[in-house]
Amino acid sequence: MEALIQAIAIAALPVILAITLHEAAHGYAARHFGDPTAWQQGRITANPLKHIDLVGTIIVPGIILLLSTGGILFGWAKPVPVDFSRLRHPKSDMLWVAAAGPGANLAMLLFWALVMKLAWLLPINFFSLPMARMAEVGMSVNIALMVLNLFPLPPLDGGRIAVSLLPRAVAWRFAQIERFGFPILLVLLFTGVLGSLLTPVMRLVGGMVEMLFQLPS
């Protein structure tokens, strides 16, 4: 029980930051490009209570942890409301609004890699070991969120980026997939297809960051 409490205490901060700042970044980008909806609803905030979804943030990941023996931990937060029609250039600005979330995860990944580097430079003690473990969790969760959200399937960020980049007629048809997006993702997840597609990418990203910061693999 004590070990479980310690694990939760170490993982809580990086996981909460990864989820909340990802969503807040979408809202901030939307406001920057002309849509104040998220700001008006108080969603441009690091307060996790504004972003946590009972089903997507707690129940689904919990079930996956109980039932799976590995692979990708899947979940979601409350989507930040974005009215794309209020963006100054809806189709092109959609790219930046969508990319802001994974961009926030990339920034946090680099931050936690720096924390990991500092932890390895410190003497091994009661402070540096939890620090390294927290950094490890922070790196892992941000890699997973970034890569998963860049998967080109609406309503994931990668799907919205694809809609922004595709020719208008093709983009409209591709966007119609969004209503089936989460069922498709769940099927891909539980059949192992999602893991086989994304795990190599996550390993590549992790390896590049380790090489950049000269971290032990």
Q: Hey, CA dihedral for 4, 104, 203, 71, is it positive or negative?
A: positive
Say if CB 86 and CB 37 are below 8 A apart. yes
Please name the helix (run of DSSP H) or strand (run of DSSP E) that holds residue 188, with its range, or none.
helix 181-190
User: Rg for the chain (alpha carbons), in Å?
Assistant: 18
The SS3 assignment for 126 reads coil
Q: With beta carbons less than 8 A apart as the criterion, state whether 138 and 11 touch.
A: no
Distance between CA atoms of 134 and 139, rounded to whole angstroms?
9
Query: Active site residue: 23, 136, 178, 210, which one?
Result: 23
Cα Dmax for the chain: 59
Helix, strand, coil abundance in the chain, percent, nearest 5: 75, 0, 25
Tokens linked to 113: 């890699």
Asked about 23 being catalytic, the answer comes back as yes
Q: Catalytic positions, please?
A: 23
